[in-house]
Structure 1
Amino acid sequence: MKDPLTNIKNLLDATVYKDSHFGAGNKNAVFRKIHKPKRIHFLPALVGGLLITVLASVGVYFASGKLGGGEGPIASPSDNPITGEIPPSQGQIGTPPAPLYAAKDEDELSIEDAETAVELSVDALTDYYKAVWNGMEIDLDRYIGNENLKQYMETKLQTEYKKYGTLDSKVKELEIGDWEAKFTEDENGGYLYVQVPVDIQKHYGGGYGEEIEFFIRNINGEMAIVDWYTGGKDTYDYLVRGYEQTIGNPAIWNDDEWVKKFKSPTGLYHFEQQVYDRFQLTHDVNELAGLDPISIAKMYAYASYHEDFDAVYALYTDREDHTLWSKEEDEEIPLADRGTKENILEIFKNLEKGTFVQTGDDEGYIEFYPNEDASEKSGFSMIRNEDGIWQAAFLPVQ
């Protein structure tokens, strides 16, 4: 698919760009006008066939038995693992009505709520792995009691699905190992720490294991997750939250400073920040090798917000047939013509939640909703250079 920007450039070259009075500032004014989000038209992705696969219900069952009345830690019976059957699917289904994970006492939490807390954790994990590997929906409101944590999990799910959901390796079954639960009192009514080891089995053989930790509180009589962490090297939480971070503070998602780096529309994850810091020093495009288009676009937004215009220009495509103005012309653009920080935040909001759509061998765009109420998507155009590295197109936002 031919990049429409090529036609724009040829048209401009043949007309207004010939005018010696039409300088970089004028070109940037065109750039800012085109920044206004516009609707992206999509080609039909499927011709015929069913769009939704009817899935069997997933059941997770617990061994019966009354928990002890003490306040110390308890553990699951070692000879009675929990399993949850997951049918293979690439489609999605609606989430059934949410079950109640009611605390035994509406006004407080105790170790007697441990079994229900584990049930909540296992149900959340079952839906999580179905979403990541099988492409099914998950209702995070059903499990999570903190809005900041929910937003983090939404980004985590989208990122993990892009990595694993397109593989022909659907999850068949989860097997829950010997879980542990511990209750701790605090000024906010106490919380349960739940540790759940899980083995993920695939339909075509193979699988892997992870250990997941939760903090759970009683919120208006119903238990809800207030932190969710998957340990292990190279896991999403390990890479994004930081390799030195452990689950140890049930109120961490209420900490504005902690939330800031995950919530900011132009915020970079730990590994992206490391790459950007190196790139900023040399503007060597080879530093970007291996990064996906969304990470590159986030760096562009980050550099724009922080007025690092040398880095902004260095992130543009270096293909000559897609270059719209030179570095020298870019340096002549007044700061007042580059847009305010508020404008940049508005343009790139939710960019990190977007989906990359490749339209040609070396062309594509990221589609995203600039806000939750938007009815039309925005797009961020990307071009891959001759070395296989994705870069921002000139006039990238459509």
Structure 2
Amino acid sequence: MKEPMRDIKKSLDATVFKDSQFSAKHKHAVFQKIHKRKTIYVLPTLVSGLLLTVAVSAGIYFATERIGGESPAALVPNHPVTTEIPPPQGEGGTETVPLYEAKEDAEVSMKDAETAYALCVDALTDYYNAIWNGTEIDVGKFIGNENLQQYLETKIQYESKKFGTMDSKVKQLEIGDWEVTFTNDEKGGYLYLEVPVSIRKHDGGGYGEGTEFFVRNIDGKLTIVDWYTGGKDTYDYLVRGYEQKIGNPNVWNDHDWVKKFKSGTGLYDFEQQVYDRFQLTHDANELIGLEPISIAKLYAYASYQQDFETAYALYTDREEHILWSEEEDEQIPLVDRGTPEQVLETYKGLESGSFIQTSDYEGYIKFYPNGEQHVESGFSMIKNEEGIWQVAFLPVQ
């Protein structure tokens, strides 16, 4: 070990983590009648590479010799860095395509930590730029597994629909202290990176999310093999669960795991996941983070499946808006509920509708079941005391 690096190592070691007379049928008929933070800057490849090298090389030098098993976590760097969100393509500048080459042909080690970090930072930059600013993202630059690519593309579509219509765009990312850990296995090992990111917008607002990555060496190139974004209103929270912590770098090669995200029911993958959990518990907390249209789709799906208990559980729990009890709902004859085919006809086009909020806790989804703009339907929604959107009784009139 050269003397300068030995001194740096010593320095680091020393300084170095929720009317009884009427039958239910009568009530139902009556109600139907009356209710209608490191900012990421797009620098030239040479300069950005130099900055990354200076920021991390000293912190990981002493862990670069692989001896098998899991190495100690390395905090790199120990101070936040700021990165500007780049302009969309065509607004100036040329796009560079980093190779993210591994140090070895078929293995990964702590020697690859700074390149893996650059890979994750670039992926985060393109991701937040896509969902907030509407730019295109080539997920294949960062991810080789087709299953994870498809999942991430759906995730971007969901987040983009939620954020992309807002006026305030993202200006920069700030990344604070991040950790990287190496684990050896039969596939050449993998790196785990925990990267806290703060998103700063042009209007001065912002928010923070924790992100986790697994990175492998695939044919000499560092590749993300799993990616989880924490936060109770994120897509990963809705689909994979809030307590989900990535722990298996091979998970997207697992057929049983992957098929959970392919519903084939008319629901998006994440909506099916929420429906499956909500069906078991009828806990409104499972709906946290869902947009009104997604919750309306769950109600339509439950009605189509004639899962009337789940459909009732999706109704508003605001006392002044409850029209009949669950016990009364159970007494409604099947013939009065409509056939699955009638349900499909009633809610056709719901997923393409637009939500219009009319008060602090009320709104409706405007949609066109016949595909004709002059034949409009509305699906009423009510937000409960906890801020969760729920279905109004007799939502479509």
Give the alignment's TM-score, normalised by structure 1.
0.60
Q: Which residue of 2 aligns with 1:113?
A: 112
The answer to whether the 8 Å contact 1:95/1:137 transfers is no
Secondary structure of the corresponding residue to residue 122 of structure 2:
helix
Which residue does the alignment assign to 1:58? 42
What is the letter of the counterpart of residue 247 of structure 1?
I
Report the CA distance between 1:360 and its aligned residue: 12
CA apart distance, 1:239? 3.1
Contact 1:192 1:217 in 2 (8 A): yes
Give the deviation of 1:253 after TM superposition: 1.7
**Are residues 1:383 and 2:378 paired?**
yes
Shift of 1:98: 3.4
Q: Deviations along 1:67-121, whole A, 9 cap, x unmatched?
A: 4223434331324x43221257799999946321111112221111111100000
The answer (yes or no) to whether the contact 1:357–1:365 under 8 Å persists in 2 is yes
Question: Structure 2 CA distance, aligned partners of 1:187 and 1:392?
Answer: 55
Q: 1:301 to 1:245 in 2, by over 3 A?
A: same
Tell me the equivalent position of 1:39.
none
Q: Give the aligned partner of residue 45 of structure 1.
A: none
Q: Does residue 227 of structure 2 align to residue 231 of structure 1?
A: no
Q: 1:311 to 1:209 in 2, by over 3 A?
A: closer
- Provide closer, same or farther for how the CA distance between residues 247 and 382 of structure 1 changes in structure 2, counting only shifts above 3 A: farther
**Partner deviation per Cα, 1:359-392 (whole Å, 9 max, x = no partner):** 999664499xxxxxxxxxxxxx963148794899
The alignment partner of 2:174 has SS state of strand
Q: Residue type of the partner of 2:141?
A: R
C-alpha separation between the residues in 1 aligned to 2:377 and 2:90? 28
Per residue, is there more helix in 1 or in 2? 2
Task: Kindly indicate whether the alpha-carbon contact (under 8 Å) linking 1:294 and 1:366 is maintained by their aligned counterparts in 2.
Answer: no
- 2: CA distance between counterparts of 1:297 and 1:93? 41
Cα distance in structure 2, aligned partners of 1:95 and 1:301? 46
- Give the match for residue 275 of structure 2: 272
Other structure's SS at 2:52 match: coil
Structure 2 match to 1:197: 196
Name the amino acid aligned to 2:65. Answer: G
Rounded Cα–Cα distance in structure 2 between residues aligned with 1:295 and 1:236: 14
Paired position in structure 2 for 1:245: 244
Report the alpha carbon displacement of residue 393 of structure 1 after superposing the two structures with TM. Answer: 7.7
Distance 1:331 1:303 in 2: 9
- Cα deviation, 1:194-250, whole Å, max 9, x if unaligned, reads 111222222121322222110011111111111111224443322321122211111
> How far, CA to CA, are the matches of 1:332 and 1:302 in structure 2?
13
* Deviation of 1:185 (Å): 1.0
Q: Which residue of 2 aligns with 1:150?
A: 149
Q: 1:366 to 1:78 in 2, by over 3 A?
A: farther
Deviates more, 1:207-216 or 1:116-125: 207-216
Matched, 1:308 2:306: yes
TM, length-normalised to structure 2: 0.60
> For 2:65, which of 37, 45, 70 is the aligned residue?
70
Give, in whole Å, the separation in 2 of the partners of 1:300 and 1:242: 23
Distance of aligned partners of 1:277 and 1:205 in 2 relative to their CA distance in 1, 3 Å threshold = same
Letter in 2 for 1:146: N
Q: Deviations over 1:126-167 (max 9, x none)?
A: 011111221221111111122222222222212222222222
- Measured in 2, the distance between the counterparts of 1:210 and 1:358 equals 26
Q: What per-residue deviation string (whole Å, max 9, x for no partner) do you get for residues 25-46 of structure 1? A: xxxxxxxxxxxxxxxxxxxxxx
Residue segments in structure 2 that go unaligned for 5+ positions in a row = 1-40, 315-331, 359-363, 370-375, 384-390
Alignment of 1:30-179 (within 5 A): 58-59=42-43, 62-65=51-54, 66=57, 67-68=60-61, 69-71=64-66, 72-73=71-72, 74-79=74-79, 81-86=80-85, 96=95, 98-179=97-178
After TM superposition, the structure 1 = structure 2 runs for residues 2-17 of structure 1, keeping only pairs within 5 Å, are none
What residue ranges of structure 1 are gaps of 5+ in the alignment?
1-56, 281-286, 316-325, 339-343, 368-380
RMSD: 4.6
Q: Secondary structure at the match of 1:159?
A: helix
Query: Judging changes above 3 Å, is the alpha-carbon distance between structure 1 residues 293 and 209 closer, same or farther for their aligned structure 2 residues?
Result: closer
Alignment of 1:366-381 (within 5 A): none
Larger relative contact order, structure 1 or 2 (CA cutoff 8 Å, min sep 6): 1
Distance 1:385 1:225, change over 3 A: same
The answer on whether the counterparts of 2:303 and 2:311 sit within 8 Å (CA) in structure 1 is no
Assess, with a 3 A threshold, how the Cα gap between structure 1 residues 229 and 181 changes in structure 2: closer, same or farther: same
How far apart in 1 are the matches of 2:338 and 2:173?
59
Aligned to 2:53, the other structure's residue is in SS state coil
